[in-house]
């Protein structure tokens, strides 16, 4: 099976990217990660063209004007993130399925475009307090960024019911198993 879209979303710090990595390792799902474009600063250890395509805000805006995005969002003030149409085409043309790690609006927007060819999975933290603790421990964020991410998390939690599936990440191993079961049914 190829050309199916698996969309992971949920607040930052819920373990979305760890779950995505585990799903990517599972060869039977034949998944490849959709590399997004973003305008935030590269974090230590991140690689251009692997984690993200890092662009200036001006370049990002010119891609919006040229209608190059499948979807894009100003996820945090002045931080733009988006999925390029050619990124999805690139992966599909390799005969693979696509996995996304995008914000809630991006997820629902991709689902609107691809309908039954896409499945949306909301990764939920056990509580906002647990999420705060995880973000603090991650220590990749400044206090200001942490506050921004927590404010957004509260809003994002309200979107959970719009997703095809909700996985609560209380225990990573179980959350990965649940996500695998969902993908297994979707990509038989």
Total residues in contact with ligand 5GP, by rule CB under 6 A: 14
Structure tokens at 93: 């043309």
**Residue 41 per-residue DSSP state:** P
Could you give phi then psi for residue 20, rounded to 5 degrees? -60, -45
Phi-psi group of 3: left, alpha or beta (phi > 0 → left; psi -120 to 50 → alpha; rest → beta): left
Would you count residue 123 as binding ligand 5GP (CB under 6 A)?
no
Walk across the sheet containing 118-124 and list its strands. 31-33, 97-101, 5-9, 118-124, 165-168
Q: How many helices (H) and strands (E) does the chain have?
A: 7, 9
- Which residue of 96, 97, 101, 159 would you call a contact of ligand 5GP, by CB under 6 A? 101
- What mask of x and - would describe binding to ligand 5GP in positions 2 to 21, judged by CB under 6 A? ----------x---------
Tell me which stretch binds ligand 5GP (CB under 6 A): 80-88, 117-125, 162-170, 180-188: 80-88
Q: In whole angstroms, how close is the CB of 153 to ligand 5GP at the nearest point?
A: 9
Would you count residue 125 as binding ligand 5GP (CB under 6 A)?
no
Structure tokens at 187: 């990509």
- Which of the residues 44 through 73 are near ligand 5GP (CB under 6 A)? 71, 73
CB of 83 or CB of 169, closer to ligand 5GP: 83
Q: In whole angstroms, how close is the CB of 166 to ligand 5GP at the nearest point?
A: 16
- Which residue of 5, 39, 98, 106 would you call a contact of ligand 5GP, by CB under 6 A? 106
Which residues, 6+ apart, have CB-to-CB distance to 20 below 8 Å?
8, 33, 99, 101
Q: In whole angstroms, how close is the CB of 75 to ligand 5GP at the nearest point?
A: 4
Which residues, 6+ apart, have CB-to-CB distance to 184 below 8 Å?
29
Applying CB under 6 A, which residues contact ligand 5GP?
Answer: 12, 36, 40, 71, 73, 75, 81-83, 101-103, 105-106
């Amino acid at each position: 099976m190829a050309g199916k879209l698996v969309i992971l979303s949920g607040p930052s710090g819920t373990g979305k990217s760890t779950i995505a990595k585990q799903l990517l390792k599972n060869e039977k799902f034949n998944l490849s990660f959709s590399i997004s474009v973003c305008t935030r600063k590269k974090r230590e250890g991140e690689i251009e063209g692997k984690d993200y395509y890092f662009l200036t805000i001006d370049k990002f805006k010119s891609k919006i004007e040229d209608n190059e995005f499948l979807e894009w969002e100003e996820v945090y003030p002045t931080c733009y993130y988006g999925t390029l149409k050619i990124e999805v085409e690139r992966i599909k043309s390799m005969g693979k399925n696509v996995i996304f790690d995008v914000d809630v609006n991006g997820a629902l927007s991709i689902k609107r475009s691809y309908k039954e060819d896409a499945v949306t999975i909301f990764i939920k933290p056990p509580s906002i307090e647990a999420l705060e603790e995880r973000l603090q421990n991650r220590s990749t964020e400044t206090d200001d960024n942490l506050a921004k991410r927590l404010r957004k998390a509260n809003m994002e939690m309200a979107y959970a019911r719009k997703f095809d599936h909700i996985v609560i990440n209380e225990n990573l191993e179980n959350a990965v198993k649940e996500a695998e079961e969902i993908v297994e049914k979707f990509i038989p």
